[in-house]
Structure 1
Amino acid sequence: MSVVELAQPELVWDIQAELGEGPVWDAERKAVWFVDIKGRKLHRYTPANGETVSWDTPDQTGFALPADDASLVCGVRGGLHRFEPETGVFTLIQPVEEDRPQNRLNDGFVAPDGSLWFGSMDDSEEVQTGALYRWFQGELTRHDDGYGVTNGPCLSPDGRTLYHHDTLAKTVLAFDHADGVLSNRRVFAVTEDGYADGPSMDSDGVLHVGLFNGWGVAKFSPQGERIGKIEVPVQTVTKAAFGGEDLRDLYMTTAWLGNADKRGEQPTLGGLYRVRVETPGLPQNKIRL
């Protein structure tokens, strides 16, 4: 039986992002970064004082993840960019999919070894031209292909299982992972009550999956069993990520994309939400540049 969390999510920034995505906790700055892909914005929220800051991005940007030199690496359409918060400057460091101009980059994840994993997708969401990549020490490798909309990936706490989503199919995939190599691709779970959007992992190995049009975050055991749901008062949760000093604050991005007609009854669509959870997440890794 599915268990619903008792804690109530709170709206912390009513930013009304068209396609909010990719929340990530920056432990040094004690802040949450996230993007509005369609709005072409990068946002930062500091919970201690409520400070909010935003930057324009060069193009649609699927993620912004911390690097080991205090910059961020951003998945901008056409390539990876280094972003320097102090100057607001984006610099291209790795072209991606120059042969697939109809694509854009979507979700991303940093592994413990400092490698960056990320996906691409057809911007129109009509053809399956999305792929899964790993970028490490300047080398870009395509590990899987044929996705409509990619989301993730993320790793199990022991690093032996990588999860990645085929969102249009509402499917969570799992791969065996060892030293940056994937094998044994298989279906891990299906989200019948919404589209499987961005995933995050807690310290017990429970996968937290944002449900686009599913009103919350689904929770799956390491065996793929649906064991709970965090209810959210808007219908499009794009991703949830653990943050705060104890990694028990779960930050959730949302979107009004595809639901503009619902904004009257759900005026906080696109807002950044937070909820306290019992089990902490895993520390955020940094990209090794």
Structure 2
Amino acid sequence: MDETGIRTLDAPRCHLGEGPSYYPATGTARWLDILERRLFEIPLDGTGPALTHTLPFMASAIAAVDPGRILLAAEDGLYLRDLRDGTLTLHGPLEADDPGTRSNDWRVHPCGALWIGTMGRDAEPGRGAIYHVAGTTVTRLYANLTIPNAICFSPDGASGYFVDTDEGLLRRVALDSATGLPVAEPATLYDHRGGAGGIDGAAVDADGLIWSARWGAACIDAYSPAGERVRSLPVPASRPSCPTFAGRGLDRLLVTSAWEGMDAAERAADPGHGLTFLLDPGTRGPLEPAFRP
């Protein structure tokens, strides 16, 4: 960390960085470059640079499963990846019959089920949706979205959050904490319409604050469960995409970024474009739950 509480990881730039995750048993961070079909992993103790794994598909998110496997959300389904040899096994299809969409943001609910968003490959309006996945059972929760993002859950699993970045309304919905399924209609928690940048990926800390990347505004914002924006942390890249809590004490934010859509002049003016960072938020998070396949 430098004097600003920011550390830049020794890793390649991402065209579209996403899906940061952390594994305390090994001290390893992982994330993805969706458009370049790459998976990165790095020890956060600073003992070496990131390893790069080429994937056969675009993937947008990662979840722990068990010590030997992770789950990847890809453009046509969910895949289990063996950490020993990289073998990929299809866990289940997701919009595999629609080549015009791909996966986007997700989180695992404390019960072990997950929510996963899809979107049009060119962010076409109304092509996106959010699904609930319990084992191999897939249930569509919300449709007619454009860019589903900020999917995350309160520590007790009783509330879920999400946004359609294109719309700009951060929403909260009451959940059955045992299943992660909604038990009410979503309500607006925070209205970002007209604000700078767009609400992107998010993670919830141990106190229930929602920490969300703001694409195009070079910051991570914290929202209270009451719907107030209570803090903002600067990020040395204009297009941060998603945070997650990381580090031995889960007291750092691992933040991906992107240079998607930037021309050469914009990239030159933004030296941090596409890099991956560790921030000191002054709080800690719960460990992201493992998916139960």
TM-superposition CA deviations, 1:103-132 (whole Å, max 9, x none)? 100111111211121110011112312111
Q: Do structure 1's residue 158 and structure 2's residue 161 form an aligned pair?
A: no
Q: Kindly report which structure 2 residues correspond to 1:150-229, keeping only aligned pairs within 5 A, or say none.
A: 150-178=148-176, 179-182=179-182, 183-191=184-192, 192-229=195-232
Q: Do structure 1's residue 248 and structure 2's residue 251 form an aligned pair?
A: yes
Question: What is the alpha-carbon distance in structure 2 between the residues aligned to residue 54 and residue 186 of structure 1?
Answer: 40
Q: Do structure 1's residue 238 and structure 2's residue 241 form an aligned pair?
A: yes
Structure 2 vs 1, CA of residues 56 and 14 (structure 1 numbering), >3 Å: closer, same or farther? closer
Q: Kindly provide the amino acid, as one letter, of the partner of residue 56 in structure 2.
A: P
State the match for 1:264 in structure 2.
268
Q: 2:170·2:191 contact (CA, 8 Å) conserved in 1?
A: yes
Q: Do structure 1's residue 15 and structure 2's residue 16 form an aligned pair?
A: no
Higher relative contact order (CA 8 A, sep 6+): 1
Q: Kindly provide the amino acid, as one letter, of the partner of residue 174 in structure 2.
A: D
RMSD: 1.5
State the secondary structure of the residue aligned to 2:268.
Answer: coil
State the match for 1:36 in structure 2.
33
Aligned length: 284
Gaps of 5+ in 1: 1-5
Q: 2:111·2:157 contact (CA, 8 Å) conserved in 1?
A: no
Q: Kindly report which structure 2 residues correspond to 1:110-125, keeping only aligned pairs within 5 A, or say none.
A: 110-125=108-123
Question: What is the alpha-carbon distance in structure 2 between the residues aligned to residue 113 and residue 68 of structure 1?
Answer: 15
**TM-aligned CA deviation for residue 8 of structure 1:** 3.3
Q: Kindly report which structure 2 residues correspond to 1:271-286, keeping only aligned pairs within 5 A, or say none.
A: 271-286=275-290
Q: 2:20·2:243 contact (CA, 8 Å) conserved in 1?
A: yes
Greater fraction strand: 1
**TM-aligned CA deviation for residue 197 of structure 1:** 0.4
Q: Kindly provide the amino acid, as one letter, of the partner of residue 251 in structure 2.
A: R
**TM-aligned CA deviation for residue 202 of structure 1:** 0.5
Question: What is the alpha-carbon distance in structure 1 between the residues aligned to residue 245 and residue 63 of structure 2?
Answer: 14
State the secondary structure of the residue aligned to 2:261.
Answer: coil
State the secondary structure of the residue aligned to 1:67.
Answer: strand
Question: What is the alpha-carbon distance in structure 2 between the residues aligned to residue 237 and residue 260 of structure 1?
Answer: 17
Question: What is the alpha-carbon distance in structure 2 between the residues aligned to residue 135 and residue 73 of structure 1?
Answer: 12
Q: 1:13·1:273 contact (CA, 8 Å) conserved in 2?
A: no
**TM-aligned CA deviation for residue 233 of structure 1:** 1.9
**TM-aligned CA deviation for residue 7 of structure 1:** 4.0
State the match for 1:95 in structure 2.
93
Question: What is the alpha-carbon distance in structure 2 between the residues aligned to residue 153 and residue 70 of structure 1?
Answer: 25
Q: Kindly report which structure 2 residues correspond to 1:58-77, keeping only aligned pairs within 5 A, or say none.
A: 58-68=56-66, 70-77=68-75
Q: Kindly provide the amino acid, as one letter, of the partner of residue 44 in structure 1.
A: E
**TM-aligned CA deviation for residue 156 of structure 1:** 0.8
State the secondary structure of the residue aligned to 2:166.
Answer: helix
State the secondary structure of the residue aligned to 2:211.
Answer: strand
Q: 2:20·2:31 contact (CA, 8 Å) conserved in 1?
A: yes
Q: 1:62·1:76 contact (CA, 8 Å) conserved in 2?
A: yes
**TM-aligned CA deviation for residue 86 of structure 1:** 1.4
Q: Kindly report which structure 2 residues correspond to 1:137-156, keeping only aligned pairs within 5 A, or say none.
A: 137-156=135-154
Q: Kindly provide the amino acid, as one letter, of the partner of residue 272 in structure 1.
A: T
Q: 2:65·2:71 contact (CA, 8 Å) conserved in 1?
A: yes
Gaps of 5+ in 2: none
**TM-aligned CA deviation for residue 27 of structure 1:** 1.6
**TM-aligned CA deviation for residue 168 of structure 1:** 1.2
Question: What is the alpha-carbon distance in structure 2 between the residues aligned to residue 35 and residue 138 of structure 1?
Answer: 23
Q: 1:7·1:277 contact (CA, 8 Å) conserved in 2?
A: no
Question: What is the alpha-carbon distance in structure 2 between the residues aligned to residue 232 and residue 98 of structure 1?
Answer: 35
Question: What is the alpha-carbon distance in structure 2 between the residues aligned to residue 8 and residue 51 of structure 1?
Answer: 20
Structure 1 window deviating more from structure 2 (277-286 vs 16-25): it is 277-286
Q: Kindly provide the amino acid, as one letter, of the partner of residue 36 in structure 1.
A: D
Q: 2:132·2:181 contact (CA, 8 Å) conserved in 1?
A: no
State the secondary structure of the residue aligned to 1:256.
Answer: coil
Question: What is the alpha-carbon distance in structure 2 between the residues aligned to residue 170 and residue 235 of structure 1?
Answer: 18
**TM-aligned CA deviation for residue 180 of structure 1:** 2.4
TM-score (normalizing by structure 2)? 0.93
Which of these residues, 76, 79, 88, is aligned with residue 78 of structure 1?
76
**TM-aligned CA deviation for residue 268 of structure 1:** 2.5
- Give % identity: 26
Question: What is the alpha-carbon distance in structure 1 between the residues aligned to residue 219 and residue 126 of structure 2?
Answer: 26
